Amino acid sequence: MDNNIAENPSPTRAKWRKVAYGGMQPGFDDNHIDDSFLEGMVMNANVVKRDMLKVMQDSVSISQYLCIVILVGLVWNYTLRSTLDETSLLYLDVSLLGSGFLVLLLTKEMLSVDLRLHYLLNVFFFTTGLYVLAPIYQTLTRSISSYSIWAVTVSLLILHLFLQDYSGSTVRAHGALKNPTLTSFISLNASVVASVFIASRLPSRLHVFAIMLFSLQVFLFAPLVTYCIKKYSFHLHLCFSFSLMAVTLAFVYTLHRLLFVLLLGFLVFVTVVCPYWLIRMQEYKFEINGPWDEAKLCFDITD
Amino acid sequence: MGDSKRHRILMVSDFFYPKFGGVENHIYLLSQCLLKLGHKVVVMTHAYGNRSGVRYMTGGLKVYYVPWKPFLMQNTLPTFYGTLPIIRTILIREQISLVHGHQAFSTLCHEALMHARTMGYKVVFTDHSLYGFADVGSIHMNKVLQFTLADVSQAICVSHTSKENTVLRSGLPPEKVYVIPNAVDTAMFKPAAERPSGDEIVIVVISRLVYRKGVDLLVEVIPEICHMYPNVRFIVGGDGPKRVRLEEMREKHSLQDRVEMLGAVPHARVRSVLISGHIFLNSSLTEAFCIAILEAASCGLLTVSTRVGGVPEVLPDDMIVLAEPDPTDMVQAIKKAISILPIIDPQEMHNRMKKLYDWHDVAKRTEIVYDRALKCSNQSLLERLSRYLACGAWAGKLFCLVMIIDFLLWRLLQLWKPADDIEVVPDIVLSHDEDRGISQDFQAFNKDHSLR
């Protein structure tokens, strides 16, 4: 540094240095702004450039799950209006359970006999428990009006959809590394409570059992099944999602025209408008990094 | 010194004696040096335990311990207007001409600066810390800082990195921000008359044992160095939640005889710990300035530090070895430090430090900032409000509302308790013993204070 000063052509004006020692630098005030001011600042260093098509494909998961929830709602509606009787509901439960297992078996390479037995045993306990509890559920909300129950159920379902973890599944695939977050648990619980409320409006005990089994199967295991499909083949996932959407739209169309238009609009909004927005909003990203940031440790701390 | 040039300064911060740390130290020593320059300095802080009311410290430094209880991390509860009456009374009683606030975390400082601006006083603010931009906490903190600094006359930062950070956080024009570093009292941190002999090398670490001080890096680095050099010993001073991690590391690698843990070191004993070593190791993850490095260098220790924040500006390149905050790089840096250790002369290093840092120099530079602040033109409420309005779409309007209410309350207070009714305190003129250095005062200051 001293050499630099000696070589400087105009010795009266030494070069400013970005140092704190040595008192006030001769020829410069303490509020001097050098050309190097904010040289170390980096803007938007960690911003990920997103591709429109990729974001749209990822958003399909959301529309798919939305359709599943609406299908559940439709089944509830049909049951409450007694279009679906308890035997057909039970057939639906069994076929869903069977197809779910089939998908798991086909998409997972390694599923040992032990694990399969374990799963079956769990399902058995689960079903028995539900059957025993069915009479309690049936009389749970007898003193409350149906309108209130529908309102609470719809808001719980919206909460469920809002907090749902669309990238994975709350019921963990075997060997998954990431633990589910608090919000995904809240979401799952909201859906369970919603199913209990709906079940409590039904006339017979078997009805209650069948509808509870159906809703819990869907809310607990549908994310796991769709997650497995998505991991197995992305094309299959897309086909499955679009057929689900088509089926849902068809059923909603038979139910109510306005609801159909609303749902169609919402699906377009989720798969096209939202990704476009996300990409447009990247322009406003303003992230500042620099030498003042707290250093991050490059290893994991095991406390 | 002519009376016209004499400033009457009120230092405000939540952080002051009897707590101990960088900011407290700074305020105390700066006030002492300003008193020596002939200015009047009054400090205002909140009550600490039963230490409440008005106290006098060395050199006639008057301290108001406002009976306002701290609620979190030594901060007072933010009430916006609760402190207005007492601040107004102090400003009038002491005939203050300029208010100087310290530290962005201090709510008392923010409130005092706001009220002082409402009453038309010139204000100076010193920022002692660095803050990021990413997390929720810093976004809110930065907004508060923007509010306080929107109308500040001049601001001071402790390093150039800190200045860049403050300018970005607050949107203040950079020419209003001065860089005046901390200093070290070299008279108090003298090297040992004789360096510890033998071929043993002692590495000293003194810091609070918390995450931000990089204790996790130490846990990785210490065993490796001990493994490489059988003649190296560590002395770790300080206490904190991460102490357990260090003790675990010591057990795991059976280094009980080579890593000494001292626990909390009282500031008065820091020198005696420092002079028992050869190398000072600082592993902070963030640091605006780092006084500990100065103290170590003044004791003639070679410093090894992480290259974070303002640390690279603190010492000339031949007095410090810098490393990235990464265990392997730090081990390399310690290796380099051990290799250049024979050419380091502690006494020479101490003499250099004497020239590089001096609190009197800091006080003189601060005096210039005060002069410039007083030269700033007076502004009406409307002119000032427009500055607040520019702070943001929603925040700007909110800030304006806060300021207008403050103004109205001040006017109400003027009617209720006119300034003429407040008694003015006569200045105490102490017959200074001019030879007495600040070092002795300083020792008195930190007699019973420990570094946690």
Take residue B344 and report the two structure tokens written for it. Answer: 């380091």
Most confident of A257-266, B194-203, B441-450: A257-266
DSSP per residue, B157-191:
ESSHHHHHHHHHHH---GGGEEE------TTTSPP
pLDDT in tens, chain A (303 residues): 344 433 444 445 678 888 888 888 888 888 888 888 888 888 887 777 888 888 898 899 999 999 999 999 999 999 988 888 889 999 999 999 899 888 888 887 666 777 778 888 888 998 999 899 888 888 888 888 889 999 999 999 999 999 988 876 655 555 455 566 788 889 989 999 999 999 998 888 899 999 999 999 899 888 888 888 888 888 999 999 999 999 999 999 998 899 999 999 999 999 999 999 989 888 888 888 888 888 888 777 665
- In a mutagenesis test of the A interface, which of B33, B216, B219, B330 is the best target, namely the one with the most A β-carbons within 10 Å? B216
Alpha helices by DSSP H, A200-233? 205-216, 222-232
* Minimum Cα–Cα distance from B181: chain A residue: A20
Sort out which chain B residues have CB atoms less than 8 A from A31's CB and list them.
Answer: 174-179
* Minimum Cα–Cα distance from B246: chain A residue: A303
Alpha helices by DSSP H, B119-242? 136-149, 160-170, 215-228
- The whole model's pTM is what? 0.78
Q: What does the pLDDT average to over B165-179? A: 90
Distance of alpha carbon A35 from alpha carbon A12, whole angstroms:
19
Take residue B291 and report the two structure tokens written for it. Answer: 């006084």
DSSP per residue, B351-395:
HHHHHH--HHHHHHHHHHHHHHHHHSPP--HHHHHHHHHTT-TTH
- In a mutagenesis test of the B interface, which of A30, A292, A299 is the best target, namely the one with the most B β-carbons within 10 Å? A292
Produce one character per residue of A212-241: b if its CB has 16 or more CB atoms within 10 Å, e if not: bbbbbbbbbbbbbbbbbbbeeeeeebeebb
User: CA–CA distance from A6 to each of A11, A63, A211, B270 (Å)?
Assistant: 7, 71, 89, 39
Take residue A105 and report the two structure tokens written for it. Answer: 């078996």
Cross-strand partners of B261? B236
**Chain-chain contact of A37 with B306 (C-beta, under 8 angstroms):** no
Pick from B350, B367, B432: nearest CA to B185: B350
Token pair 């907004």 is found at: B143
Token pair 């991390």 is found at: B73
Take residue A217 and report the two structure tokens written for it. Answer: 């199967």
Alpha helices by DSSP H, B229-343? 243-252, 270-274, 291-298, 311-314, 327-340
Take residue B199 and report the two structure tokens written for it. Answer: 């071929």
Helices and strands: H and E segment counts in chain A: 11, 2
**Chain-chain contact of B289 with A20 (C-beta, under 8 angstroms):** yes
Q: Name all domains of chain B by residue range, CATH numbers in brackets.
A: 3-183+360-447 (3.40.50.2000), 201-351 (3.40.50.2000)
**Chain-chain contact of A20 with B179 (C-beta, under 8 angstroms):** yes
Q: Give residue-wise pLDDT tens across range A257-292.
A: 999 999 999 999 999 999 999 898 888 888 888 888
- In a mutagenesis test of the A interface, which of B26, B125, B133 is the best target, namely the one with the most A β-carbons within 10 Å? B133
Distance of alpha carbon B311 from alpha carbon B128, whole angstroms:
13
